[in-house]
Amino acid sequence: MTPTLLLVQVLNGLQFGLILFLIAAGLTLVFGVMDFINLAHGVQYMVGAYLAAAFAAWTGSFWLALGLALPTALVVGLLLEILVFRHLYDRDHLDQVLATFGVILFLNQGVKFLWGAAPLNVPMPDLLSGSIPLPGGLLYPTYRIAIIAAGLGVAGLLYVLVHHTRIGMLVRAGASNAPMVSALGVDIRRLFMGVFGFGAMLAGFAGAMVAPILSVEPGMGDNILILAFVVIVIGGIGSIRGAFLAALLIGLVDTVGRTLAPTLLRLFLDPSVASQTGRAVAPMLIYILMAAVLFFRPSGLFPVRR
């Protein structure tokens, strides 16, 4: 493997990691503040992608579609909160897992009902459709760089929001002791609702961003949801910083591991065995990583102090 190829893989890993972070950020806040397992967070990513696709087809502009998809994703998130999730906050995790599993079934089938089972494509905006030369002569798509930039931008914004504003202070306080925050006169229900809607919008944003490079299809949120859970569990539930670092770690390990694992194994095994074992081991790497982290630190790398 050449250094340039490795650079491409690292960039891909960063891009994947930042998308994971956008999804995991909402998930970890909802989880940390409300102690609520939301399996339906992945379908909010899917809904974001479908909304972007639908609005892009309607308006003909990616930027308009993105601008319309975000508030609509927010509304969908708030609607789900009002209809289903708020009735589950004081239930145990098992009930939450099941009810939100029901939401997944409904919405996965719902998008199939509205837009059909065939994958949709979203055209890439002209402004970002070019590519950027990398040292070593390879070209890298501008759009993926834009995703990395947008992801880093949102991460910075979230950092300021959570650590340097009054709302962020309440969110952090809610994550470490919700009853106390409530006793001090804060309307915790409204705070919950706000956090929930915001998380849904971030996931929707991630979905809209990847719509031009992935096919938009029913169930696209299911596997990424599991990865987002791996991220927040490794990072420590409720910790934005943990989610950020774990998302990058998972993104890099998963992407780079897929190319590096067979190469590394070739040092010890004969090539055909190595490539087959490598292909088998690579998708399992992140789960092995997660099991190892939980074995040594049962509440993640950056546990929120309670």
Partner 1 sequence: MSGGADFAAAAAAGRPVPSRLGRLGVPALLFTLLALAPLLAMAGAEGYLLSLLSRVMIFAIAAIALDLILGYGGLVSFGHAAFLGIGAYAVGILSSHGIEDAFVQLAVALGASGLFALATGAISLRTKGVYFIMITLAFGQMLFFLATSLASYGGDDGLTLASKSLIFGRKLIEGDRAFYYAVFACLLVTYILGRSIVASRFGRVLRGSRDNPVRMEAIGFHPFRYQLAAYGISGMLTGLAGFLLANQAEFVSPAYMTWQRSGELIFMVILGGLGSLHGALLGAAAFLLLEEYLAGVTEHWKMIFGPLLIVVVLFARGGIMGILGGRGRRD
- CB 170 to partner 1: min, Å: 23
User: Which pair of structure tokens corresponds to residue 295?
Assistant: 């074995």
Nearer to partner 1, 142 or 222 (CB): 222
Nearer to partner 1, 122 or 250 (CB): 250
Nearer to partner 1, 199 or 212 (CB): 199
Rounded Cα–Cα distance for residues 263 and 1 (Å): 8
Rounded Cα–Cα distance for residues 237 and 255 (Å): 24
- CB 153 to partner 1: min, Å: 29
Nearer to partner 1, 209 or 234 (CB): 234
Q: Are 170 and 187 in contact (CB under 8 A)?
A: no
- CB 255 to partner 1: min, Å: 15
- CB 286 to partner 1: min, Å: 8
Strand partners, 56: none
Site residues (CB under 8 A) for partner 1?
31, 37, 39, 84, 87-88, 91, 93-95, 97-99, 101-110, 112-113, 222, 226, 229-230, 233, 237, 276, 279-280, 283-284, 287-288, 290-291, 294-295, 298-299
User: Which pair of structure tokens corresponds to residue 291?
Assistant: 């099991």
- CB 198 to partner 1: min, Å: 21
Nearest residue to 188 (alpha-carbon basis) of 202, 199, 173, 200: 173
How many other β-carbons are positioned within 10 Å of the β-carbon of residue 10? 14
Which residue's structure tokens are 């089938």? 109
- CB 98 to partner 1: min, Å: 5
Q: Are 253 and 17 in contact (CB under 8 A)?
A: no
Nearer to partner 1, 138 or 301 (CB): 301
Strand partners, 133: 139
- CB 120 to partner 1: min, Å: 18
| Contacts of residue 108, Cβ cutoff 8 Å, sequence gap at least 6 | 43, 46, 218, 219, 221, 222
Nearer to partner 1, 129 or 263 (CB): 263
Nearest residue to 176 (alpha-carbon basis) of 89, 236, 230: 236
Nearer to partner 1, 237 or 256 (CB): 237
User: Which pair of structure tokens corresponds to residue 147?
Assistant: 């995703």
Ranges of H-type helices in 116-239: 142-164, 166-183, 188-210, 220-235
